[in-house]
Amino acid sequence: MRFNDVTRGTGLEEHGITNANLIYWTAPTAVLYEHIVKRGEGLVTHLGAIAVKTGHYTGRAANEKFIVDEPGSSNSIAWGTINKPFSPEQFDLLYNRMLAYIHGKDLFVQDCFAGANHEHRLPIRIITEKAWHSLFARNMFVQAKPQELEQHRFQFTVIDLPNFHAIPSQDGTHSEAFIIINFARRMVIIGGTSYAGEIKKSIFTVLNYLLPINRQILPMHCSANVGAQGDTALFFGLSGTGKTTLSADPSRALVGDDEHGWDDNGIFNFEGGCYAKIIRLSKEAEPEIYETTRKFGTILENVAIDTHTRRVNLNDDSFTENTRASYPLTHIPRIMCGGCAGHPASIVMLTCDAYGVLPPIARLSKEQAMYHFLSGYTARVAGTETGISEPSTTFSPCFGGPFMPLHPAVYGELLRDRIARHGATCWLINTGWTGGPHGTGSRIPIAFSRALVKSALDGTLSAGAFETEPFFGLEIPTACPGVPPELLNPRRTWSDTGSYDETVRKLVGMFKANFRQYEQHVEARISSVM
């Protein structure tokens, strides 16, 4: 096994790649910086981060993702609008065209792992045509030590060629972009898009299939941290709801910001880095994440930069609302070394409520936790997917529907089992609007959300009084240090309570209509929580 070296056109024959030019094997960060600059892929900023642009696609191309419909996995996949089938024959034809495209081109290879837990980690190989995508893989996955590289036997491969475009009429894709997972060939192919998030999310999708099927491990779209007393907290939520922000707490050690597994011994991070939204990032409100944008090794995606001074403008959304920073976990001051922690004491489900009717925080019963986990209600925030310019209501099962190949009930049952066995306290937190819907009300300040999380995790809220609101049946605390009491009950923040009642009834109706698809898969006491 080669590492930290260069070969000419050899070493990738098992992927069908026999005619590449130079192949850079598991190149370190400094070497990749040199190639990024030399190839004109990015600019070094004034404090050492690397700034890049992703071009047309500045978010996930959700409609361009497919799973190959092959006998070994077909009966397990929850086929539908998210998990769209792609024929094996089409895959082979498209892949053969990719191999022809590679002829004479340089490639970058990162041999690494998905998963910090040595027992469950997946050895992976990421092959890219862009040096900055190789740095992204190096940041986001668990790096292999030199002795591990010598024994590395990859079990899944991602081949990422942004400059190769599909021909929809010929290849069976919807556009020039594609992300296709083939479980039979243990391979992901990506083309037509330079948005690096497709690399990490495709491997997340792979783990969401393999871990429950093979090992009964719950994969989760969540961040995680650990308090001074060793108490672990999980934060579920889609992009833009605050997973990364709220888990980056200087008083708690970060396990990871986006993807974790929960086995019989506790939780473990899938990744070796973070991929944070940084539009209008504030040094005062989010100091830990802010500092990562000023460090060597960090990739700044679609962030505006003065090409003369090389200073960045984190407030500039001229390229996209979905500006991102990819950085190693070690850029955060307090982390859990090893990426593993104990069973969660607290589970927080984050939502960004565009209607402004959900409370900033509510305590959930086990039945309510299951209901809200399967519902996965939030508002998709501008920029995280192409075509989304305003917040729009969505129900994304397990707070990660776009990445879940199996039926949501599979993940729901695993979560219910673990909550029952380990007794986690569950909370619903709204980081969206208050005082009215989007356009009328205002976004809940991050300082208040932080105060609510702190009081939930340290037991302050559970020790206090609660009131039950009549629509969702949620238990709302009557007081929280650092938060105005009137903010805690959303009805009191609306000037027109009649309009509030009408809006909340509408949202309750949407919840019920959405949940009908799960009623046959869950106990009656869960489907009847509201």
Separation CA 269–CA 261 (nearest Å): 7
Contact call for residues 138 and 32 (beta carbons, < 8 A): yes
Beta carbons within 8 Å of 352's beta carbon, 6+ residues apart? 237, 238, 240, 241, 242, 378, 379, 381, 391, 430, 431, 432
Separation CA 292–CA 325 (nearest Å): 8
Beta carbons within 8 Å of 1's beta carbon, 6+ residues apart? 111, 149, 150, 151, 152
Beta carbons within 8 Å of 222's beta carbon, 6+ residues apart? 234, 235, 236, 237, 243, 258, 259, 260, 399
Q: How far is CA 108 from the centre of its chain?
A: 24
Separation CA 468–CA 477 (nearest Å): 9
Q: Is 301 helix (H, G, I), strand (E, B) or coil?
A: strand
The first and second tokens of residue 54, run together, are 């992703």
From residue 200, how far is each of 138, 275, 408, 421 by CA, in Å?
A: 11, 9, 21, 31
Task: Write the DSSP symbol of residue 144.
Answer: P
From residue 437, how far is each of 72, 223, 237 by CA, in Å?
A: 46, 27, 20
* Per-position b or e across 30-48, b if 16+ CB within 10 A of its CB: ebbbebbeeeebbbebeee
CA angle in degrees (0–180, nearest 5) for 179-240-176: 20
The catalytic residues are 60, 201, 221, 239, 243-244, 258, 324
Separation CA 518–CA 521 (nearest Å): 5
* Per-position b or e across 476-506, b if 16+ CB within 10 A of its CB: bbeebeebeeebbebeebbeeeeebeebbee
Residue with tokens 């039926």: 407
Contact call for residues 60 and 205 (beta carbons, < 8 A): no
Q: How many CB atoms lie within 10 A of CB 101?
A: 15
Radius of gyration of the chain (CA): 23
